[in-house]
């Protein structure tokens, strides 16, 4: 007891010393500077804190360690505060960890509640960030033993528990959800495999060697479908809102957070906990928290996905807590918990700090400055967001011809930033089409992301666990508990679903002779896709194909069952015209765990032609880019789009194009110095290369 | 005329040529580089070790080049830096304004891994920022102190994936020396590997750089937590030689075995290779090579590296070029044996 008291006193001293050190005005200034940059980087879709941190690093060499960490952590902690802004306003996730925010935030904006959603997002970010930091602060003494206890089998079990959320996130379409989840796992398998070095599904391209990068995929699956529907609907995102409503909404958002403080605590601990596990990407944190909220919150099954503020709160409080969590393995073992942390590790070394036991004893005050930096950065970040929020909220009321060019341009470059390759743009377009079709046909998209992010770590840790421990890995106590939890999580929705439909017998009697409908073409396409992936996998080395074949077979089975279901299940109501209405019928009245298309009122023909038009714009964008380079293309695109779709006034169009192009030039050419792919024009007339990106 | 005096004459002539070419090359470069920028294409993502080295060099290289061009580091990760290598080989300008910073694996890719479009032996090598000595080590509680012990008993090694030194090097030892290393792959990087060893999930590793390990885990050596059982290098590290750690290649029974090991271990010589595209004018290659060495001997760079615990031991471009040429001239049978050791598959 005495030892415990002494330990606590030592920690308290270090924590208070660290606080006063950080309160020095110049350190606060660096922290604020980092926050500003983090917010800006967070708002721009596709660009996280990684590039920013890498570029800031050399500037921190001359600082004292406290200021250096204040600057770097200020940046790292606030990117996810800025992330929800485009997610809520345009349905475009600003970063990988705020994709779940789109699900409820965007419908809120559509209802005219953008102000409330944004405010709830900031406030839950703030509270989540602080709870995450607090969790870190109090768990410091047990960090190393806990981390040493968590081996690959435990990480595997965590990943399996994570993927069992597919059951919850599939909503009323369990077969489709499992199918989408399996497809996600298979996409994660693309690239050189870690066991045998077999190149899986790389189609002989170097681009796919390391697997598909996440950003273009997420932007394709979540951002492009919303933008496409915006063009199809030809409206504004939200109805006009007056200034008074915005302030009222803001206040409501703050109140929502305090009403749901217990949810925030839980989600931030999920965020902090998962964030501290190296190797599990931060991009699933929001989904796990969202799934948790969906399972535990009262009435969530009826309202989530339709603009329930608790969905926004769950997602945003978890992703801001992750930075505090990611500090854990970095500080305690020098194993970076995230890519940003890998760069932070560089800062550690230059200031003569070696991660490990010393950071928890001798240099505990430095560790606590980091904790304080994360906490303060969250407060500052949210404060800055509040200051600009009314302006942001009104963006959602703009005409689609004003919103689409800028957002699409930035989505393009954001995707391109992932690996700076043509492949990124092709992936963006391809997954944009898949995402849009999934949305139209009511295939839930969240399971796909879950499979994609966790598939890789499940395969990796499964091979390590089995190779190292045989099958006894499952008997380790923590593993066993986690696996049982996963099993319950998987079975409960299934049992619930069977009961709801009146038991197995009634479900089985509810079938008729097969009826074909055009909407089934998507399911058929899915079956063909999985089938051809499976065939391509057959000649691989046994351990390279084991997981892909098992997962692929499951996907194939559920897809066939789903097709059978679509063809043979007796419809509840007869005679619906729109694609999405037909789909809604198929999944029954229960909640559909994804955004629903609000283009249902339009005839199928109009939807199809306008969607084609949207994707034709994208193709034209890429074609023009190949000829004249990306930055001039952005200008051409803005002009052509606004004149053809609007038409907007020439003066407005030209100013818009100029501002956008200069912004892109400064951000991407000057600041980030992206190596542009060579353009045809630049190759024919090398003198023109003075124009950026040609 | 004796051979000796002939050589001396030739050297003198060579020196004259160099003396004459030196200022001319500098003038050409000065005029060329003035106001220009050089892009350094880094074949890894931001924040990793290779990125850190390349950015460090980038901050000083410009000062040591005539005309003081601006250096712009750009990340292009992918395919174990084979993407960046391909870009430097065929897309980047061939006038000395593009430099590639690659993984050493990309240099031997065509020899040992899946064949790629470009030919790494045709690059103009600028040099390497350090020369790492890879080692094999095992936890002391395994009781394994030498490769001979490892041939008696199974040791569980943590490794990344085929193609990485942590897999390739022990795989070769298993084939050639008959060690019983059980190589468990799947750990993303060296930090994850050392953590697995610390928590007892793995018992050791082969193919991790000595300098990094000793800098990061001084307490492992102070407390005798691990035994270093072999150096996987052609020359070895002075400290390790003093400690009596043998070179693995000395234990080879035949010359052919030795060659196989040297082929795989040679990656250590060019720990952080920097390359120029084929076809860059020779005088500019010379100017860049000179600036490369000068920058890496720059006192402020060394001070910065010291703080970051980066090991800077520059190897000249000529030296690396010679090593790569020699590697690519390795007899087919040796390459075949090495490939079989690594992948169990013959060359396609």
Q: ipTM, 2 decimals?
A: 0.78
Residue B57 shares a structural domain with residue B108 = yes
Q: How open is the CA angle B21-B24-B30, to the nearest 5 degrees? A: 135
Residue B10: asked if its preceding bond is cis (omega within 30°), the reply is: no
Which residue among A152, A195, A339 sits closest to B201, beta carbon to beta carbon?
Answer: A152
Residue B220 shares a structural domain with residue B138 = yes
Q: Which of A225, A176, A190, A152 is nearest to A479 (CA)?
A: A152
pLDDT at residue A657, as a whole number: 92
What does DSSP assign to residue A592?
P
Residue B207 shares a structural domain with residue B315 = no
Query: Which residues in chain B are closer than 8 Å to A329, comparing Cβ atoms?
Result: 195
Is B345 a domain residue?
no
Residue B324 shares a structural domain with residue B224 = no
Q: Which of A365, A367, A361 is nearest to A348 (CA)?
A: A367
Residue B258 shares a structural domain with residue B284 = no
Below-50 pLDDT ranges, chain A:
573-578, 584-589
Note whether B275 and B126 are within 8 A (CB). Answer: yes
Is B343 a domain residue?
no
> In 3-state terms, what secondary structure has residue B74?
strand
Note whether A449 and A283 are within 8 A (CB). Answer: yes
A–B CB contacts, 8 A cutoff, strictly below: 143
What is the per-residue pLDDT across A167-211, written as a single tens digit (0 to 9) for each? Answer: 778 877 888 888 999 999 999 899 878 777 788 888 877 788 778
Interchain CB distance below 8 Å, A419 and B76 = yes
CA torsion sign for A250, A254, A260, A262 is: positive
pLDDT at residue A640, as a whole number: 92
pLDDT at residue A598, as a whole number: 67
Residue B185 shares a structural domain with residue B300 = no
Is B319 a domain residue?
yes
Interchain CB distance below 8 Å, B78 and A206 = yes
CA A173/CA A217 separation, integer angstroms: 22
Q: Give B275: exposed, middle or buried? Use CB within 10 Å, 0-12, 13-18, 19+.
A: buried
Note whether B64 and B298 are within 8 A (CB). Answer: yes
What distance in Å separates residue B5's CA from the closest CA in chain A?
51
Per mean pLDDT, which range of A25-39, B41-55, B114-128 is the poorest?
B41-55
CA A533/CA A566 separation, integer angstroms: 23
The pair of three-digit structure tokens given for residue A130, joined into one six-digit string: 């602080």
The pair of three-digit structure tokens given for residue A41, joined into one six-digit string: 């980087």
Quote the percentage of chain B above a pLDDT of 70: 89
Residue B277 shares a structural domain with residue B253 = no
For the domain that residue B62 is a member of, what is the CATH number?
3.40.190.150
User: Considering B267, B285, B313, which residue would you say is the last residue of a domain?
Assistant: B267
CA dihedral A10, A16, A20, A23 (to 10 degrees): 130
Interchain CB distance below 8 Å, A460 and B186 = yes
Interchain CB distance below 8 Å, B186 and A210 = no
Residue B26 shares a structural domain with residue B77 = yes
pLDDT at residue A570, as a whole number: 67
Query: Which residues in chain A are closer than 8 Å to B55, comparing Cβ atoms?
Result: 54, 57-58
Residues 6+ apart with CB under 8 A from A502: none
Could you tell me which residue, A333 or B318, shows the higher pLDDT? B318
What distance in Å separates residue B237's CA from the closest CA in chain A?
23
Residue B12 shares a structural domain with residue B110 = yes
Residue B188 shares a structural domain with residue B147 = yes
pLDDT at residue A580, as a whole number: 54
Note whether B203 and B138 are within 8 A (CB). Answer: yes
pLDDT at residue A89, as a whole number: 87
User: Which residue has tokens 């390590």?
Assistant: A464
Note whether B79 and B264 are within 8 A (CB). Answer: no
Q: How many domains does chain B have?
A: 2
User: Considering B250, B267, B284, which residue would you say is the last residue of a domain?
Assistant: B267
Is B243 a domain residue?
yes
The pair of three-digit structure tokens given for residue A478, joined into one six-digit string: 């923590």
User: Considering B267, B293, B319, which residue would you say is the last residue of a domain?
Assistant: B267
DSSP alpha helix (H) spans, A361-476: 364-395, 400-419, 422-440, 446-469
pLDDT at residue A574, as a whole number: 43
The pair of three-digit structure tokens given for residue A393, joined into one six-digit string: 């909220």
For the domain that residue B184 is a member of, what is the CATH number?
3.40.190.10
What distance in Å separates residue B132's CA from the closest CA in chain A?
19
Note whether A485 and A288 are within 8 A (CB). Answer: no
Residue B118 shares a structural domain with residue B212 = no
CB atoms within 10 A of CB A684: 9
Q: Per-residue pLDDT for B8 more than 80? A: no
Q: Per-residue pLDDT for B45 more than 80? A: no
Is B348 a domain residue?
no
Is B246 a domain residue?
yes
Q: Which of B261, B242, B234 is nearest to B132 (CA)?
A: B234
The pair of three-digit structure tokens given for residue A638, joined into one six-digit string: 């803005």
Task: Read off the pLDDT band of B144 (50, 70, 90).
Answer: very high
Q: What is the arrangement of strands in the sheet containing B70-75, beginning at the earlier edge strand?
A: B70-75, B37-42, B98-101, B273-276, B124-128, B315-316
pLDDT at residue A262, as a whole number: 93
- First-to-last alpha carbon distance for chain B, in angstroms, is 51
Residue B72 shares a structural domain with residue B166 = no
What does DSSP assign to residue B120?
G
The pair of three-digit structure tokens given for residue A594, joined into one six-digit string: 């994804």
pLDDT at residue B225, as a whole number: 93
The pair of three-digit structure tokens given for residue A220, joined into one six-digit string: 């394709």
Q: B148: domain range?
A: 134-267
Could you tell me which residue, A492 or B22, shows the higher pLDDT? A492
What is the per-residue pLDDT across B211-267, written as a single tens digit (0 to 9) for each? Answer: 878 877 888 888 899 999 999 988 888 889 998 999 998 888 888 888 888 888 887
């Amino acid at each position: 007891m005495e030892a415990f008291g002494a330990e606590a006193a030592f920690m308290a001293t270090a924590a208070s010393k660290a606080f006063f050190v950080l309160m020095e005005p110049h350190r606060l200034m660096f922290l604020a500077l980092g926050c500003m940059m983090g917010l800006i980087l967070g708002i721009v879709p596709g660009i996280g804190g990684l590039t920013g941190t890498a570029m800031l690093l050399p500037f921190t060499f001359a600082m004292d360690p406290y200021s250096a960490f204040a600057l770097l952590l200020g940046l790292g902690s606030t990117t996810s505060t800025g992330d929800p802004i485009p997610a809520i306003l345009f349905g475009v996730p600003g970063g990988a960890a705020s994709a779940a925010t789109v699900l409820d935030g965007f419908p809120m904006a559509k209802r005219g509640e953008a102000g409330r959603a944004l405010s709830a997002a900031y406030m839950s970010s703030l509270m989540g960030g602080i709870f995450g930091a607090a969790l870190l602060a109090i768990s410091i003494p047990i960090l190393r033993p806990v981390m040493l206890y968590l081996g690959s089998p435990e990480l595997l079990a965590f990943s399996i528990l994570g993927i069992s959320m597919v059951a919850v996130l599939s909503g009323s379409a369990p077969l489709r959800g499992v199918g989408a989840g399996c497809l996600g796992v298979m996409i994660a398998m693309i690239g050189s495999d870690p066991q045998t070095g077999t190149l899986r599904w790389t189609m002989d391209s170097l681009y796919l060697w390391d697997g598909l990068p996440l950003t273009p995929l997420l932007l394709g699956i979540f951002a492009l479908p919303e933008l496409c529907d915006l063009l199809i609907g030809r409206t504004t995102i939200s109805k006009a809102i007056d200034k008074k409503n915005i302030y009222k909404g803001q206040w409501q958002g703050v109140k929502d957070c305090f009403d749901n403080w217990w949810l925030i605590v839980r989600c931030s601990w999920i965020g902090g906990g998962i964030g501290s596990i190296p190797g599990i990407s931060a991009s699933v944190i929001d989904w796990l928290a969202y799934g948790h909220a969906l399972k535990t919150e009262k009435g969530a099954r009826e309202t989530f996905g339709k603009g329930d503020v608790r969905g926004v709160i769950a997602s945003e409080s978890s992703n801001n807590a992750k930075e505090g969590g990611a500090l854990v393995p970095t500080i305690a073992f020098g194993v970076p918990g995230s890519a940003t942390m890998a760069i932070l590790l560089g800062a550690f070394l230059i200031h003569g700090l070696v991660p490990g036991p010393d950071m928890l004893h001798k240099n505990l005050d430095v560790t606590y400055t980091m904790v304080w930096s994360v906490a303060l950065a969250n407060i500052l970040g949210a404060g800055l967001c509040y200051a600009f929020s009314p302006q942001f909220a009104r963006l959602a009321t703009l005409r689609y011809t004003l919103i689409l060019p800028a957002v699409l341009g930035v989505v393009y470059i954001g995707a391109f930033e992932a690996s700076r390759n043509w492949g990124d743009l092709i992936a963006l377009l391809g997954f944009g089409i898949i995402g849009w079709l999934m949305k139209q046909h009511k295939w839930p998209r969240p399971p796909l992301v879950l499979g994609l992010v966790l598939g890789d770590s499940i395969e990796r840790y499964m091979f390590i666990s089995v190779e190292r421990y045989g099958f006894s890995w499952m008997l380790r106590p923590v593993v066993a508990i986690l696996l049982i939890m996963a099993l319950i999580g998987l079975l409960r929705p299934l049992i619930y679903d069977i009961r709801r439909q009146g038991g197995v017998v009634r479900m089985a009697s509810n079938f008729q002779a097969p009826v074909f409908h055009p909407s089934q073409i998507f399911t058929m396409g899915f079956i063909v896709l999985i089938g051809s992936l499976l065939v391509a996998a057959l000649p691989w080395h046994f351990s390279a194909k084991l997981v892909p074949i098992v997962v692929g077979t499951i996907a194939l089975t559920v897809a066939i069952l789903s097709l059978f279901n679509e063809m043979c299940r007796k419809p509840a109501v007869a005679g619906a015209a729109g694609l999405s209405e037909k789909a809604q019928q198929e999944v029954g009245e229960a909640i559909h765990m994804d955004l629903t298309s609000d283009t249902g009122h339009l005839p199928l023909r109009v939807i199809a032609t306008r969607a084609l038009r949207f994707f034709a714009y994208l193709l034209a964008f890429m074609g023009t880019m190949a000829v004249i380079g990306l930055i001039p293309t952005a200008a051409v695109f803005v002009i052509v789009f606004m004149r053809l779709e609007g038409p907007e006034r020439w003066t407005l169009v030209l100013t818009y194009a100029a501002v956008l192009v200069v912004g892109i030039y400064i951000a991407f050419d000057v600041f980030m110095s992206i190596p542009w792919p060579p353009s045809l024009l630049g190759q024919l007339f090398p003198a023109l290369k003075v124009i950026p990106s040609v | 005329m004796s051979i000796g005096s002939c050589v001396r004459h030739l050297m003198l002539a060579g020196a004259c040529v160099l003396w004459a070419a030196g200022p001319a090359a500098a003038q050409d470069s000065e005029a060329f580089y003035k106001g220009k920028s050089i892009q350094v294409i880094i074949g890894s993502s931001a924040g990793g070790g290779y990125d850190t080295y390349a950015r460090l060099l980038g901050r000083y290289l410009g000062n040591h080049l005539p005309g003081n061009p601006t250096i712009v580091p750009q990340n292009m990760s992918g395919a174990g830096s084979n993407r960046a290598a391909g870009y430097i080989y065929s897309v980047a300008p061939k006038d000395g304004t593009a430099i590639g910073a690659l993984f050493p694996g990309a240099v031997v890719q065509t020899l040992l891994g899946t064949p790629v479009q470009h030919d790494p032996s045709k690059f103009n090598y600028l040099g390497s920022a350090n020369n790492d000595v890879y080692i094999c080590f095992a936890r002391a509680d395994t009781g394994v102190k030498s490769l001979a012990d490892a041939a008696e008993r199974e040791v569980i090694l943590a490794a990344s994936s085929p193609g990485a030194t942590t897999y390739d090097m022990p795989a070769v030892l298993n084939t050639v020396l008959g060690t019983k290393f059980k190589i468990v792959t799947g750990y993303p990087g060296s930090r994850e590997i050392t953590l697995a060893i610390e928590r007892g999930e793995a018992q050791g590793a082969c193919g991790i750089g000595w300098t990094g390990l000793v800098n990061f885990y001084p307490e492992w050596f102070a407390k005798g937590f691990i035994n270093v059982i072999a150096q996987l290098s052609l020359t070895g590290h002075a400290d390790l030689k003093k400690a009596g750690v043998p070179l693995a290649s000395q234990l080879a029974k035949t010359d052919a075995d030795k060659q196989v090991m040297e082929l795989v271990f040679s990656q250590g010589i060019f720990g952080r290779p920097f390359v120029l595209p084929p076809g860059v004018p020779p005088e500019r290659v010379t100017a860049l090579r000179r600036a490369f060495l000068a920058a890496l001997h720059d006192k402020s760079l060394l001070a910065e590296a010291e703080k970051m615990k980066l090991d800077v031991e520059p190897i000249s471009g000529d030296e690396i070029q010679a090593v790569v040429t020699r590697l690519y001239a390795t007899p087919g049978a040796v390459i075949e044996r090495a490939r079989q050791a690594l992948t169990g598959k013959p060359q396609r």
